[in-house]
């Protein structure tokens, strides 16, 4: 059996209908109408110890609901979930010692006092022995470069500094599983890189299992080999990120700079769009090679400049969403 | 419980970050609160007694309720402000911690400025006890400690009920003020001065009368009924269903979500 085993979990929320208009608001005051939203349906997957999994999907796809179920905050309507031998929502107190959760949008640090004080509270909450606490703290300070910021009131920290403290706070008790819910949201490039490097290192050195959600695809590509794509509450793709890329790798983007008008029709040309100073083309390299198409174009117009690109991972995701109609 | 006291000390530290503000709030609390007592004192300067209760008897009654309320404001304010915790999603974080849920809520907020009321309440209590010429015995001493404890418990229970209501909806929370603030203002006086309906309500629905009225009668010698001395113990029972209702709310939360 896997470290994390999720079997066919479903969760439906009952929400009150909200209509616009004063009259409608008045009506709904007396008689509420409800509708049901299937947040997740039949979600199954298993994760091994020490894996890093990117959990992706558009807004409202059911990512947060899944994370909440896995971390024991919510219990599903049906289905099973066993993590390291425990059912998250049944053995709450025992289970939460094994996990650390970072919500990118919500802080767990105390606003008016230095991070180190929050650490002390966490030490008591998780009953971390002095020796272990000291060791973990120093280790985290070192790796996340917190030395100069740990004694400053949190409200005075920058977003990037705060996120580093946030991550450290979630790891003081040495969790076996770390949930990262959009850990790099709003961070600058340097902070992002620092956070990513740290996560990689953590996974390598401590074999921490990491489940990561993010809308920033570069987070996912740099951290995880495996992704689970979820949309409208269902698992659409679960597997290797590279394979998914290969599926779309035959397509190339060619942008051409030219002042002349290009009239081109051939097999393998999937689309042609006029851009500000030329044309954007998409070709299928299984049908037509890059040199062939460039050859054809250069015969027709004078090319000032040319740019050839692979499908970007962001585009890939947009395409995936389109393919799966989510 | 170590984490609870740690959290409280952090609150104190946070509040002291804004030192000037803390000092002024503390002083203004003393003044505001003194005005409450002033109302009672000036009332009694005109009327000798209210339905047979003298000034110090009323102040005794008053200080017990104030003590209980202020105690909760300092040590369990998070429960009073539970709606914020639900709205802002902080409750999820509490569920992610391996400790008792209610205790974690208690320390989520604190208002140390209210400690000034706590001190005032104790001073007023001591003054009125001295002035009342009570014939002391062991039961009366025990009774006063029970009153103080039950004063804490009654507001704790009411806050718990109000917090449970937040699991269903965070709208219309003003209703709770009828029972906490409104009830508090009436219970500051010996309930017996009000009409029968109120007496029944504050005896059987919200048992303020067991906190200060019945034990008051015993302590000041208006009644010899020994049961009155132990009537504050009712609150130790009253809190049980409140805790159960709260945990039913937690259960609902984890199946319905926010």
pLDDT digits (tens, 9 = 90+) for A256-269: 888 888 887 788 88
**A155-160 own/partner pairs: CB under 8 Å, 24+ apart:** A155/A111, A155/A112, A157/A115, A159/A186, A159/A187, A159/A191, A160/A187, A160/A188, A160/A190, A160/A191, A160/A194
Residue in chain A closest to B95 (alpha carbons) equals A73
CB B189 within 8 A of CB B51: no
Distance in Å, alpha carbon of B4 to nearest chain A alpha carbon: 9
Give the model's pLDDT for residue B5. Answer: 94
Distance in Å, alpha carbon of A114 to nearest chain B alpha carbon: 10
N residues, chain A: 326
Domain ranges of chain B: 21-251
In this predicted model, what pLDDT tens digit does every residue of B107-140 receive, in sequence order? 998 888 888 889 999 999 999 999 998 888 999 9
N residues, chain B: 258
In this predicted model, what pLDDT tens digit does every residue of B33-87 receive, in sequence order? 778 888 888 888 888 888 888 889 999 999 999 999 999 999 999 998 898 888 8
CA distance B253 to A209: 28
Give the model's pLDDT for residue B146. Answer: 95
> Residues A257-285, buried b or exposed e (16+ Cβ, 10 A)?
ebeeebeeeeeebeebeeeeebbebebee
In this predicted model, what pLDDT tens digit does every residue of A16-60 receive, in sequence order? 776 667 777 676 666 777 788 888 989 999 999 999 999 988 887
* pTM more than 0.90: no
Chain centroid to CA B11: 20
Pairing of the two strands A52-56 and A226-231: parallel
Structure tokens at A97: 């010692």
CA distance B231 to B209: 9
Q: Is B28 in the A-facing interface, judged by CB distances under 8 Å?
A: no
Q: Is B172 in the A-facing interface, judged by CB distances under 8 Å?
A: no
**A185-194 own/partner pairs: CB under 8 Å, 24+ apart:** A185/A104, A185/A105, A185/A214, A185/A215, A185/A216, A186/A104, A186/A159, A187/A159, A187/A160, A187/A163, A188/A160, A190/A160, A191/A159, A191/A160, A191/A161, A191/A163, A191/A164, A192/A216, A192/A218, A192/A219, A194/A144, A194/A145, A194/A160, A194/A164
Q: Is B93 in the A-facing interface, judged by CB distances under 8 Å?
A: yes
CA distance A241 to A17: 39
- Bridge partners (DSSP) listed for residue A177: A99, A209
Nearest to A74 among B2, B98, B257 (CB): B257
DSSP annotation of B128 reads: H
> Residues B228-238, buried b or exposed e (16+ Cβ, 10 A)?
bbbbbebbeeb
**Contacts of residue A73 in chain B, CB cutoff 8 Å?**
92, 95-96, 254
Give the model's pLDDT for residue A76. Answer: 92
Q: Is 90 exceeded by the pLDDT of residue A168?
A: yes
- Interface A–B counts its CB contacts (< 8 A) at 66
Structure tokens at A150: 């740990």
SS (H, E, C) B51-74: CCECHHHHHHHHHHHHHHHHHHHH
In this predicted model, what pLDDT tens digit does every residue of A183-225 receive, in sequence order? 888 888 888 999 999 999 999 999 999 999 988 888 888 898 8
Q: Are the beta carbons of A96 and B98 separated by less than 8 Å?
A: yes
In this predicted model, what pLDDT tens digit does every residue of A276-314 receive, in sequence order? 888 888 888 888 888 888 888 888 888 888 888 776 667
CA distance B85 to B79: 9
């Amino acid at each position: 059996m896997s470290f994390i085993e999720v079997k066919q979990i479903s969760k439906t929320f009952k929400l009150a209908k909200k209509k616009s208009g004063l009259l409608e608001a008045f009506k709904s005051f007396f008689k509420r109408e409800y509708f049901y939203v299937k947040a997740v349906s039949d979600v199954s997957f298993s994760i091994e110890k020490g894996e890093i999994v990117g959990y992706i999907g558009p807004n409202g796809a059911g990512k947060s609901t899944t994370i909440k179920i896995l971390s024991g905050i919510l219990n599903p309507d049906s289905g099973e979930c066993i993590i390291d031998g425990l059912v998250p929502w049944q053995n709450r107190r025992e289970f939460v010692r094994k996990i650390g959760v970072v919500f990118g949008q919500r802080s767990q640090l105390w606003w008016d006092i230095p991070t180190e004080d929050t650490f002390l509270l966490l030490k008591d909450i998780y009953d971390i022995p002095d020796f272990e606490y000291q060791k973990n703290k120093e280790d985290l300070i070192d790796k996340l470069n917190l030395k100069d910021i740990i004694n400053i009131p949190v409200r005075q920290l920058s977003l990037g500094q705060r996120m580093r403290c946030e991550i450290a706070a979630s790891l003081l008790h040495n969790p076996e599983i770390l949930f990262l819910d959009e850990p790099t949201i709003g961070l600058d490039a340097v902070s992002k890189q620092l956070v990513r490097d740290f996560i990689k290192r953590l996974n390598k050195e401590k074999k921490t299992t990491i489940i990561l959600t993010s809308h920033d695809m570069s987070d996912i590509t740099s951290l995880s080999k495996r992704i689970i794509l979820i949309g409208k509450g269902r698992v659409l793709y679960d597997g290797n990120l590279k394979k998914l890329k290969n599926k779309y790798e035959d397509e190339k983007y060619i942008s051409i700079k030219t002042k002349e008008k290009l009239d081109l029709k051939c097999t393998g040309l999937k689309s042609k769009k006029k851009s500000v100073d030329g044309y954007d083309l998409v070709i299928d390299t299984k049908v037509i090679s890059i040199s062939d198409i460039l050859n054809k174009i250069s015969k027709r117009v004078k090319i000032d400049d040319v740019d050839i690109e692979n499908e970007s991972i962001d585009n890939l995701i947009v395409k995936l969403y389109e393919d799966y109609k989510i | 419980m170590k984490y609870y006291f740690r959290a409280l000390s952090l609150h104190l530290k946070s509040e002291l970050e804004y030192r000037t503000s803390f000092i002024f709030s503390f002083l203004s609390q003393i003044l505001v609160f003194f005005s409450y007592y002033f109302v009672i004192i000036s009332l009694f300067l005109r009327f000798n007694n209210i339905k047979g209760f003298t000034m110090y008897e009323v102040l005794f009654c008053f200080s017990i309720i104030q003590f209980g309320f202020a105690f909760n404001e300092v040590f369990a304010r998070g429960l009073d402000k539970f709606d914020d915790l639900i709205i802002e999603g902080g409750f999820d974080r509490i569920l992610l911690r391996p400790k008792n849920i209610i205790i974690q809520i208690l320390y989520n907020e604190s208002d140390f400025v209210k400690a000034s009321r706590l001190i005032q309440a104790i001073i007023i209590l001591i003054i009125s006890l001295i002035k009342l010429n009570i014939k002391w015995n062991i039961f009366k001493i025990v009774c006063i400690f029970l009153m103080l404890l039950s004063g804490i418990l009654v507001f704790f229970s009411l806050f718990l009920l109000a917090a449970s209501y937040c699991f269903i909806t965070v709208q219309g929370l003003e209703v709770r003020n009828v029972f906490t603030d409104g009830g508090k203002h009436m219970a500051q006086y010996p309930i017996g001065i009000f009409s029968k309906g109120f007496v029944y309500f504050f005896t059987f629905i919200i048992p303020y009368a067991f906190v200060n009225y019945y034990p008051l009668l015993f302590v000041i010698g208006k009644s010899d009924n020994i049961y009155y001395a132990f009537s504050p113990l009712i609150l130790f029972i009253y809190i049980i269903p409140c805790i159960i209702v709260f945990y039913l709310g937690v259960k609902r939360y984890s199946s319905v979500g926010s």
